[in-house]
């Protein structure tokens, strides 16, 4: 029953998000960057990632802890909601103060500090939304969570579109762009709070020192993991600003942000896939159910399109980069490299989620530390000479290395059998999509038509190569 419910809800979630969220990275963000320029947007990207590095203070692993525990014990929502919400508010205040102080220590001027402060508020609101959504997911209210997951983007798309088209009589700049995000996150946080509030028997803000210390202590391993993974995922833009001269650093960070845009959009879908998985894995593990088939299904469903997207973006990097960035192709090379990361990131979202649900945080933290070391070393070596392209290569190597470690840990801990048939099918599928992409570029004079034909061929090839099977998918969907 868990497998059937998972497949149904993840399909609904992905369809809903695909209808809405692509407008943000493919329409709004490129338009804003073209309007304000690479350097200005690059400054925003550097400060955004700087604020993201300290994000762990906001949550300290509370969201992951809450998701896992409510999935296993639904009655804990009413019991702990008031205290956990109060704890999140206090953590938000601590995060804001630490972020501002560090910004001043680094030497950011008033303009930078103003932008950093608003970005810090946005990070707090994002963290609060994710915490509230963890309660919905823990209760297995997947459809409700799906609507909440797109609410912020719907609001922000409307506001930014209004700014770009001068509906409000205000000229768009980085600050108005950030303010529109603040309003979107704030309204979504209110919607999420009210939704969870009506699922509880009572709510009253209260501070409980013993409870808070107990939660923080239990959440500490989650917090360390999130901190470490955030560092090796978000260091690239920050290091471009640190290792390159001031003007060059912001310009290269802007180029990197362009290249990273579609990958971030793909990561949203993969992330949504994973947050649906963690309560399912947690409950199955608690009841000692075999998770191997669900892991295999999840891996195939997520990695198959990820491979098509990754390879397709590599072969069509110039065309896609031009389309996404409104005719500008200065980030095409970095884009082709970064999009190969999508397959590794998708793999991480499956096996990392499984290990998190099982509580294997020591292994995951070891993996993340290794990932940070690799990322730092490669960035120090590559950025001075290759700038944004060097940072992209650093990310590619780090993501595939850490994905491989997580697969190894999962197979070892859960004693999965090595699926030779799946490996052979994957290899055949990859060879096929590389050939299809190479051949498709000369099908017609229209690259969009060629890309569409390539995607259709790859979809069919997934079944022909044995990677996907209609029979097995229907069996899971109808599983009782």
Average pLDDT estimate for 349-368: 89
Q: Is residue 471 part of a domain?
A: no
For the ranges 30-44, 49-63, 174-188, 371-385, the lowest mean pLDDT is seen at: 49-63
| pLDDT tens-place string over residues 428-460 | 999 999 999 999 998 888 999 999 999 999 999
| pLDDT tens-place string over residues 92-114 | 999 999 999 999 998 888 888 99
| pLDDT tens-place string over residues 387-412 | 999 999 999 999 999 999 999 999 99
Kindly calculate the radius of gyration of the chain based on its CA atoms and give it in whole angstroms: 22
**pTM of the shown model:** 0.75
Q: Is residue 479 part of a domain?
A: no
437, 311 contact by CB (below 8 A)? yes
Domain count, the chain: 1
Residue 200 confidence (pLDDT): 77
Residue 480 confidence (pLDDT): 37
Q: Is residue 436 part of a domain?
A: no
Residue 479 confidence (pLDDT): 38
Residue 181 confidence (pLDDT): 95
Q: Is residue 407 part of a domain?
A: yes
Greater confidence (137 vs 384) lies with 384
Quote the mean pLDDT of the chain. Answer: 84
Q: Is residue 432 part of a domain?
A: no
Residue 77 confidence (pLDDT): 60
Residue 24 confidence (pLDDT): 81
Q: Is residue 461 part of a domain?
A: no
Question: Tokens 């200005």 label which residue?
Answer: 40
Share of the chain above pLDDT 90, in %: 37
pLDDT at 123 over 90: yes
Confidence of residue 120 (pLDDT cuts 50, 70, 90): very high
Between CA 438 and CA 446, with CA 440 as vertex, the angle to 5 degrees is 130
Count of Cβ atoms closer than 10 Å to residue 347 Cβ: 22
| pLDDT tens-place string over residues 224-279 | 777 777 777 777 877 887 888 877 888 888 888 888 887 887 787 777 777 777 77
241, 256 contact by CB (below 8 A)? no
Residue 468 confidence (pLDDT): 80
User: Whole-angstrom Cα distance, residue 81 to residue 75?
Assistant: 10
User: Whole-angstrom Cα distance, residue 255 to residue 329?
Assistant: 10
Q: Is residue 30 part of a domain?
A: yes
Residue 353, domain extent: 2-417
Q: Is residue 302 part of a domain?
A: yes
């Amino acid at each position: 029953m868990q497998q059937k419910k998972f497949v149904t809800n993840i399909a609904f979630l992905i369809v809903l998000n695909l209808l809405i969220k692509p407008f943000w990275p493919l329409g709004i963000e490129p338009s804003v960057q073209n309007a304000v320029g690479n350097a200005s947007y690059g400054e925003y990207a550097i400060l955004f990632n700087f604020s993201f590095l300290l994000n762990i203070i906001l949550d300290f692993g509370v969201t992951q802890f809450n998701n896992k525990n409510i999935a296993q014990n639904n009655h804990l929502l009413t019991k702990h909601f008031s205290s956990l919400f109060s704890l999140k508010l206090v953590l938000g205040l601590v995060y804001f103060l630490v972020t501002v102080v560090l910004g001043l220590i680094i030497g950011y001027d008033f303009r930078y500090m103003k932008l950093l402060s608003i970005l810090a508020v946005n990070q707090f609101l994002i963290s609060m939304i994710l915490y509230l959504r963890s309660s919905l997911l823990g209760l297995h209210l997947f459809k409700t969570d799906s609507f909440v997951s797109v609410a912020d983007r719907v609001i922000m798309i409307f506001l930014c579109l209004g700014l770009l088209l001068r509906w409000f009589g205000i000229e768009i700049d980085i600050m108005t762009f950030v303010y529109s995000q603040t309003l979107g996150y704030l309204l979504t946080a209110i919607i999420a709070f009210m939704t969870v509030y009506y699922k509880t028997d009572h709510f009253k803000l209260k501070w409980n020192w013993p409870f808070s210390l107990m939660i923080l202590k239990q959440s500490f391993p989650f917090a360390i993991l999130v901190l470490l993974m955030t560092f090796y995922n978000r260091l690239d833009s920050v290091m471009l600003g640190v290792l390159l001269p001031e003007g060059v650093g912001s310009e290269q960070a802007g180029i990197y942000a362009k290249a990273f845009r579609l990958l971030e959009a793909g990561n949203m879908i993969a992330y949504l896939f994973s947050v649906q998985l963690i309560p399912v894995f947690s409950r199955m593990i608690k009841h000692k159910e075999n998770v191997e088939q669900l892991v295999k299904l999840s891996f195939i469903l997520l990695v198959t399109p990820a491979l098509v997207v990754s390879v397709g973006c590599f072969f069509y990097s110039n065309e896609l980069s031009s389309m996404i960035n409104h005719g500008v192709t200065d980030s095409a090379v970095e884009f082709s490299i970064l999009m190969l990361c999508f397959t590794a990131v998708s793999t991480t979202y499956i096996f990392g989620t499984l290990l998190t649900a099982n509580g294997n945080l020591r292994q995951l933290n070891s993996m993340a530390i290794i990932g940070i070391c690799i990322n730092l070393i490669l960035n120090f070596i590559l950025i001075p000479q290759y700038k944004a392209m060097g940072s992209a290569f650093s990310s590619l190597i780090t993501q595939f290395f850490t994905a491989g470690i997580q697969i190894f840990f999962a197979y070892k801990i859960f004693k999965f059998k090595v699926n030779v048939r799946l490996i052979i099918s994957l290899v055949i599928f990859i060879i096929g999509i590389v050939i299809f992409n190479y051949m498709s570029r000369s099908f017609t004079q229209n690259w969009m038509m060629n890309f569409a034909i390539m995607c259709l061929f790859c979809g069919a090839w997934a079944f022909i190569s044995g990677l996907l099977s209609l029979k097995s998918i229907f069996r899971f969907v109808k599983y009782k």
